[in-house]
Structure 1
């Protein structure tokens, strides 16, 4: 892996961290899992970097968080975040970014906007929610239906993030065609 790839991975990890600075919303229905902007960064990591590097950028962020850096929304960090109700979502970011990148790679014949919509929905919603639901069932001791219902409160905001990621992907492609060069 070259220095350019390492730089891009680091920049996307930093972007996800910066999105954690935006205000969070806590809903009692979701077992204490906050609504954050950081999933937008996870979606963009897969869209912009592709599967492998997108997942690596999320892994880098989570490693730094595990070491104690308060980079998650609300200034959270340290190993404790991986034992909280949100742990399934956090760990789900890794396969979420990977799947987002895989879908983007597979949809090379589809315009970037539509490909990014499908990719962000598949990785950023389906995969991350699947992991989040399992995490709520294990850590918060919720039943499957209760965990699914609790997770559903995130859907409207995440659909907005899916649309935003598609607009950002299209804008990146128009401004700098090589930004999504792995799709060619």
Structure 2
């Protein structure tokens, strides 16, 4: 059992002389920075990607490995969709930490800059689509204006992304 499995783990004070606030930052391209310098070490960057979570009390993005945790700065979204796999009536999101989730088009929204976002990890976090992943939506696109995707027998118009990072849900139309 890791300390992170204890219900009060995220309520404990930091170690003496330490703070839960860090200088780690995730930019809008999915790159980590520490103390203003790019995290270049691939294994460290992959570890940081796998530690992204949200604080259970305040919802702020945190990094946790189950033994310790800290808040970190996020320029846009705390997670990224690096690829999308479409197979028949199903699609799977591949997140930048290597985990996969089934795509429900109802969790998608469209940013002002034309970037697609998805609510992931049970709706707790938002993931920004990489350019590559966004191009992989093309087989699902049935209308460009308004952007409409068809998957699993229904069409979903992508709502505008709100300031809180969740688009307002719009019409779901059956296809067929």
More helix by share: 1
More strand by share: 2
- The normalised TM-score by structure 2 is 0.27
- The normalised TM-score by structure 1 is 0.27
* Relative contact order higher in (CA < 8 Å, ≥ 6 apart): 1
Larger radius of gyration: 2
